[in-house]
Structure 1
Amino acid sequence: MVSVGDMAPDFELMAFDKTMFRLSDSIGNRVVILFYPAAFTGVCSKEMCTFTDSMNRLEAAEAEVLGISVDGIFANAAFADANEIGFPLLSDTDRIATDAYGVGIPFVMPDYIAAQRSVFVIEADGKISYAWIAENPGIEPDYEAVLSHLEN
């Protein structure tokens, strides 16, 4: 599991629009990574919509926002469209980023590993400056704490 002060593990994942995203290509920018367990679930929908509603503050803090789940690109595309999500959702079906950040959890079915709800802020130098991992998938992040961290 990664911690504040660690270099953020690099990954390359496909977004719902079939473009590839590599974290190392964003070095020099602040990046907020939102791991979420599953598209179209209540807490995940609320979380992604709350961050979308906060895009003015996130953009003012010069932060690029990414959602990551183990859902496929078609599920993430439908989820983004249905909820008007204002940032890319990346598909981690092989659990590359999920494993690198240490946030895999059993979810819903035996032997099914999803991404634990978590938030990581990566600074322009590639170091993690904020890390929050939910105790269980039903817990939402402290949205104001994330935004305040970015604004300070």
Structure 2
Amino acid sequence: MAVEVGERAPDFELRDQHGVPLRLSDLRGSKVVLVFYPLAFSPVCHGELGAIRDELLPSAPADVRVLTVSVDSMFSHRVWADAERFTFPLLSDFWPHGGVAQAYGVFDDVRGQAVRGTFILDGEGVVRWKIVNEIGSPRDVAEYRKVLEEL
């Protein structure tokens, strides 16, 4: 079942690329850009996360947190984050396999990975905007900036 705008985002705890656990509910008070992507090291994902690093984060208000989620292991995320200088959390939804993506309604059961889903949450953890694209269709980071400005 998909998470819809106006609903409270399902809480979760996943480990980032350094093995540090991160719980979504611990970020209350911050706006959260929650980005699900299929796989590390893939061309479209590289472009999207690069745009977050280069275009979104430098101009984002201090109360905005970016979290990215894929089914890759935290070890894959660490290598990719180090190589690409990603400083935001790359969270591993490895086990149970895709469990968080499933809870948000963005898991592709056939491919065993997330589709491209983004959820923007307000400081109370309520979904205020979302977009879900198929695996091969990139998202536009400019939309994230626009939504965050309106919150």
TM-score range, shorter chain: over 0.9
The separation in 1 between residues aligned to 2:87 and 2:51, in whole angstroms, is: 10
CA RMSD of aligned residues (A): 1.2
* 2:146 is aligned with 1:148: yes
Give the whole-Å Cα distance in 2 for the aligned partners of 1:55 and 1:142: 14
- Asked if 1:49 is matched to 2:47, the reply is no
Asked if 2 retains the 8 angstrom alpha-carbon contact of 1:73 and 1:91, the reply is: yes
**CA distance in 2: counterparts of 1:47 and 1:25, whole angstroms:** 25
**Native 8 Å contact 1:15 1:91 kept in 2:** yes
Runs of 4+ in 1 over 6 A off after TM superposition: none
Residue of 98, 105, 108 corresponding to 1:105: 108
Q: TM-score, normalised by structure 1?
A: 0.92
Q: Which runs of 5+ in 2 are unaligned?
A: none
- Kept in 2, the 8 Å contact 1:17–1:77? The answer is yes
1:1-152 aligned at under 5 Å gives the runs 1-53=2-54, 54-58=56-60, 60=61, 62-93=63-94, 94=96, 95-106=98-109, 111-134=110-133, 136-152=134-150
The alignment-based identity, stated in percent, is: 36
Aligned pairs, how many?
Answer: 146
1:126 Cα deviation after fit:
1.1
TM-score (norm 2): 0.92
C-alpha distance in 2 between matches for 1:61 and 1:103:
28
Counterpart CA distance in 2 for 1:98 and 1:119 is 11
Secondary structure of 2:112 counterpart: strand
Question: CA separation in 1, counterparts of 2:53 and 2:149?
Answer: 17
CA distance in 1, matches of 2:145, 2:139: 11
Name the amino acid aligned to 1:146.
Y
CA contact (8 A) 1:9 1:100 kept: yes
Q: Deviations over 1:1-37 (max 9, x none)?
A: 0011010000000111010000011111111111000
Q: Match of 2:86, SS?
A: coil
CA distance in 2, matches of 1:61, 1:118: 23
Note the residue ranges of structure 1 that are not aligned, 5 or more in a row.
none
Q: CA deviation at 1:103?
A: 0.5
